[in-house]
Structure 1
C-alpha cells in the first residue's frame, strides 16, 4: 500500500496500479446497506450530521472502512433496524450483501464486516384519527343541540 489513506489494487501482470479512496467503498456499502430488508436507517457520525444539517446527502453515512496491520479491509456498519425483525438474520444478510457488492465492484475482499445495531425503529403510527374521540363527544354535542333546541 502506497498511502494509508488509499487502497491500492495491483495488477502484477503489467505493473499497473489503481488507487481507491476508502470513502468510495463507504459509499458503495452505504447504498447497498440501505437496500437490505429490515434496515430502517443508517447512523452516521458528526461529519454526516453536519452534512445533513447543510442539506447534503451523505451516502457513506453509517459506514467506516479501515485497513488493519496485515492489510485486510475491515468495515464497521452502524444501522437502525425495523422493530420486530430477526436481528441476527438481518445482520447476516447485511454482511453478505455488503461483501458481494464490494467484491463485485472493486474486486476487494472484506476481512470483517462488523454490524453495530444502534437501535430499533418503530413504524410510524398512522396519523391518529380523532374520529374515535370525536364520536364520543359528538353524542354530547348532539344532546346539547337537542336540549338547546327544546329550550327555545
Structure 2
C-alpha cells in the first residue's frame, strides 16, 4: 500500500499509516507556544474539546523509504516571532515523529498562512 510504511521485523511486520504520522505532526505543532491554529481550523480551544482528534488538518505528510517530508500550515498569534515559532514547530514535529515512529524526518516545511489578533 502506498499510504503505509512497512518494516519487516524479526517477529512480524509493522505498518504505520500516513494519517498517523500526520496526526503526530499536528499534535506537536499545535503544542508550540505562539501557534494559534493549524490552517485546517483546529484551534487550541477546539483541541481541548475534541481530545486531539482530527489533527491531520493543515498537515501533509509524504513518506518514502522510511524518510518523512512534512508540510505544516498554521496561524501564529500576533506579537510572536514568526521565525522562532516556525523553528519551534519544525523541531517539535521532527522530534515527535522520530521518537514515536522511528522514521527519519528529512524536512519539515512550515507555511504561516495567518496571524491571530488578540482581543482585549
TM-score, scaled to structure 2: 0.82
Counterpart-to-counterpart distance in 2, 1:111 and 1:71: 10
TM-superposed CA distance for 1:7, in Å, is 1.3
Specify which of 56, 71, 75 is matched with residue 60 of structure 1. Answer: 56
Number of positions where the alignment pairs a residue of Structure 1 with one of Structure 2: 112
1:109 aligns with 2:104: yes
TM alignment of 1:3-152, pairs within 5 A: 3-11=1-9, 14=10, 16-44=12-40, 58-68=54-64, 72-125=67-120
Q: Which structure carries more helix by proportion?
A: 1
Q: Which structure carries more strand by proportion?
A: 2
Counterpart-to-counterpart distance in 2, 1:71 and 1:108: 5
Structure 2 residue runs of 5 or longer lacking an equivalent are: 43-49
Structure 1 residue runs of 5 or longer lacking an equivalent are: 49-55, 126-152
Runs of 4+ in structure 1 over 4 Å off: none
SS in 1 for 2:32: coil
Q: Which has the higher contact order (CA 8 A, sep 6+)?
A: 2
